[in-house]
Amino acid sequence: MPSQRRITVRRAPKYVPFLVAGALLGAIVAAIIGYTGPVPDGYTRGSIFGYFLVIFVAAGLLVGGVVVLILDRVSIARARKAIVEELPEDEAEEAPGEGHAETEDDGEQSPPSP
């Protein structure tokens, strides 16, 4: 008799892409502000850009992290419950790429599944 278990299925976001996107957005904002704004006496465009780069990349990382945490909480709320059943060992040992299945009566083989 196969055993059954209840599992939770959900689509969780990946953290790294959100953090990278936030950092890139912060770098773009820093470049726009650093190279289009006025230059105070005693500073260069490069130093202004570097200053804004540090600030806006950190802010972008923070915003990306908050967004991914919110999406993760939403995915927990939308999680679905499912019941899974363990396969017997003789069926579990069959290679998953073979694609040969015999029909019930005539012994013909069906085409491989995609």
Q: Where are the domains of the chain?
A: 4-92
CA atoms within 13 A on the CB side of 42: 0
pLDDT in tens, 9-31: 889 999 999 999 999 999 999 99
What backbone torsions phi and psi does residue 85 show, to the nearest 5 degrees? -125, 135
pLDDT at 104: 44
Give the separation between CA 62 and CA 101, rounded to whole angstroms: 53
Q: What is the mean pLDDT of each run of 10 residues along the chain (114 residues)?
A: 83 94 97 91 92 97 96 92 84 54 46 52
Give the separation between CA 53 and CA 4, rounded to whole angstroms: 53
Q: Which two tokens stand for residue 13?
A: 């976001």
For the chain, what's the residue count?
114
pLDDT at 100: 46
Q: Which of 33, 38, 40 is nearest to 56 (CA)?
A: 33
Q: Which of 48, 32, 28, 50 is nearest to 40 (CA)?
A: 48
Q: Which two tokens stand for residue 64?
A: 């990306």
Q: Which neighbouring-strand residues pair with 1?
A: none
What is the residue type of 77?
A: A
